[in-house]
Structure 1
Amino acid sequence: MTKPIILIIEDEAAIVAYLQTELKFEDYIVLTASDGDMGLSVFEQNATKISVVLLDWMLPKRNGLEVLRRIRKLNGQVPVILMTAKNDVGDKVAALDAGADDYITKPFEIEELLARLRVSIRRQSKDSPRKYQLADLSLDLDTHRVIRAGQIIDLTQREFQLLTYMMQNSGKILNRDDLLDNVWGLDFDGQYNTADVYIRYLRQKIDDHFSPKLIHTVRSVGYVLRTD
C-alpha cells in the first residue's frame, strides 16, 4: 500500500520538526514548506500525490487563506486541515468557506491531529478515484503509472500532471488558460504557448503510435481528451 504523503505548510520550525517526527513515526511521508509561496510551489510539483495538506493560517508571503484558495483552484479534492491559534467562530466559518475540510486550533494534542488525518484520508480514498481509464489508456495516481495498449508510457512529472487533469476532465474542452491555471498554477509567468508544447509532448507519447487518437484540438478553443 502506498504511504500517504502529508504536506506541512508552517513557518514555525519547532512545530514543523515536531510534526515531522510524529508523522514519520506513523509511517507518513512528509513534505514541508515554510511560507505561502514555497507551499504553493511544493504543492504544484506534487499535486497528484499529496494525501493531505496541513496549512498554517499566519504565513509569510501569503497567508493561509490565500494559499488555500489557490490550492482549491489547482485541486478541488485534496483534504486541507487549517492549523491556527484563531478560535473565533467567525474565523472557523471563514476557513471552511474558503475551502478547508477541517480546522484545528493551536495548541493541539498530536492524537487529535492524527485522528483528523485518518478521517481525511479515509474520506479521500472513498470519494476520489485514484485510477482513470479512457479506451486503452490508463492512469494510476498511486503507482504514478500510465499504460496505453499494455505498454508503460514514461512521462515527466509535468506531463503526468497534464494528463491527469485532462483525464479528470475527459470529454470537456479545455482552453490554454484552464491548462495553465490547473497544471502550472495561477502564478505561472512563462510562455503562453507552454500548454501547446506539452500537449505536443503528450501526443508523441500516448497518441502517435496508437489508435484511436485521444487528444483532439478544437480549433480556436482548446483541447479535449476523448475517443472520437
Structure 2
Amino acid sequence: MRLLIVEDEPTLGQQLKETLEANGYAVDLATNGVDGHFQGSEEDYDAAILDLGLPEMDGLTVLDKWRKADINMPVLVLTARDSWSDKVSGLDSGADDYLGKPFKMEELIARLRALIRRSAGLASSELEAGDVRLDTRSGRVTKAGQPVRLTAQEYKLLSYLMHHKGKVVSRTELIEHIYDQDFDRDSNTIEVFITRIRKKLGAELIETIRGLGYTLDDPENRAA
C-alpha cells in the first residue's frame, strides 16, 4: 500500500515515514501544502496523512481541492489543533478520520489500516483467498494454517491484491501502489515477485489476465 504524508515538521514527518515504511508501506513525504496537493493530485495513493497547519497552502484547502477534483483516497487529518471547530471543519471538508497531536504511532497505524480496509469494502483485518490468510494487524501470512515467510515486497504485492480480490489489477497499478515515486517503473520486479508468491502459496492463487494484469480470487471460485 502506498501512502502520502503531508507534514511540515521535519522530525515528525521523517519519523512517520520511517515507521510506516517499517510496517510495510511505500511512503512519499511532502513538507508543504502546495507540494502535497500536487502529489496527491498527480499520483495514486491508498491513503494520505494530512496536517492542517501547513505552509504555502493550509491542509483544509488541500483537502477541499482534492475532494472537488474527485480525488477520493482516504485522508487522516493530523493536527495539533484541538478545538471542536477545527475537527468539524476537517471532517466537513472531506476527511475520513481525525487524530490530534500528540498521538501514539500504534493508534495512527491502526486507523490507517481501518481506513484502507473500509475503502476496499472490507470489514475484517484478516483477508482470505482459498486457504491463504493475511492478517493486516500482525503481517502474518498462512497457507492451510501454516505460516509462510514472505519478503517485504512480496507481502506488499500480496496485500494489495488481497485488498482488491476479484478485480483485475494492472502491472502499472501495482507499481503505483506498492512503490514510492522514486521506483524504476520500467523494472520487471513485479513479474519476479508474482512468480515467487506463486511458488510459496500455490500457482493457482494469482491468475494472469493476458494484456490486462493479474487477479486474485478463491481458486475454487475460478474452478466453478
Question: TM-score, normalization: structure 1?
Answer: 0.61
Question: Contact 1:159–1:202 (CA<8 Å) still a contact in 2?
Answer: yes
How many residues in Structure 1 have an aligned counterpart in Structure 2?
189
1:74 to 28, 38, 45: 45
d(CA) in 1 for partners of 2:180, 2:53: 25
Ranges in structure 2 where 5+ consecutive residues have no aligned partner: 88-96, 101-106
- Closer/same/farther in 2, CA of residues 199 and 110 from structure 1, 3 Å limit: farther
1:215 to 191, 206, 215: 206
Give the secondary structure class of the aligned counterpart of 1:132.
strand
Residue deviations 1:106-153, cap 9 Å, x none?
x7359988x931798397398354220111110011000001011101
d(CA) in 2 for partners of 1:139, 1:177: 23
d(CA) in 2 for partners of 1:169, 1:125: 11
State the identity as a percent.
24
Say whether 1:158 aligns with 2:141. no
Greater shift in the superposed pair: 184-193 or 146-155: 184-193
Instruction: Output aligned runs, 1:170-209, within 5 Å.
Output: 170-189=165-184, 191-207=186-202
Deviation at 1:32, TM superposition (A): 2.3
2:115 to 112, 121, 124: 124
Question: Contact 2:5–2:50 (CA<8 Å) still a contact in 1?
Answer: no
- Closer/same/farther in 2, CA of residues 178 and 44 from structure 1, 3 Å limit: farther
Question: TM-score, normalization: structure 2?
Answer: 0.62
RMSD: 4.4
Deviation at 1:47, TM superposition (A): 5.3
Residue deviations 1:52-86, cap 9 Å, x none?
x9975348xxx111333467x231xx352333345
The amino acid that maps onto 1:108 is: R
Deviation at 1:222, TM superposition (A): 2.3
d(CA) in 2 for partners of 1:79, 1:191: 26
**Greater relative contact order structure (CA < 8 Å, 6+ sep):** 2
Matching residue of 2:103: none
